[in-house]
């Protein structure tokens, strides 16, 4: 969760390079606890990365 919050902070403060790097880190992470929250975060990260040009 702290990684996701850092990602959101980078997004809000328009630090897009850092947001993208954090998104890639989160995307590569192994899921330890399969929950709806984790799946929601992973989906949001994937959508963010797909929308990057």
Kindly indicate the confidence band of residue 11, based on its pLDDT and cuts at 50, 70 and 90. Answer: very high
Question: What percent of the chain is predicted at pLDDT more than 70?
Answer: 96
Choose among 15, 41, 16: nearest CA to 27: 41
- The answer on pLDDT for 1 being more than 90 is no
- The answer on pLDDT for 53 being more than 70 is no
Domain count, the chain: 1
Residue 46 makes CB contacts below 8 A (sequence gap 6+) with: 27
pLDDT of residue 52: 86
Q: Which domain holds residue 31?
A: 2-50
The per-residue pLDDT for range 15-40, each reduced to its tens digit, is: 999 999 999 999 999 999 999 999 99
């Amino acid at each position: 969760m702290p990684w996701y919050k850092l990602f959101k902070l980078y997004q809000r403060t328009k630090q897009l390079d850092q947001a993208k790097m954090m998104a890639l880190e989160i995307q590569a992470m192994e899921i330890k606890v399969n929950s709806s929250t984790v799946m929601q975060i992973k989906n949001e990260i994937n959508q963010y990365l797909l929308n990057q040009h």
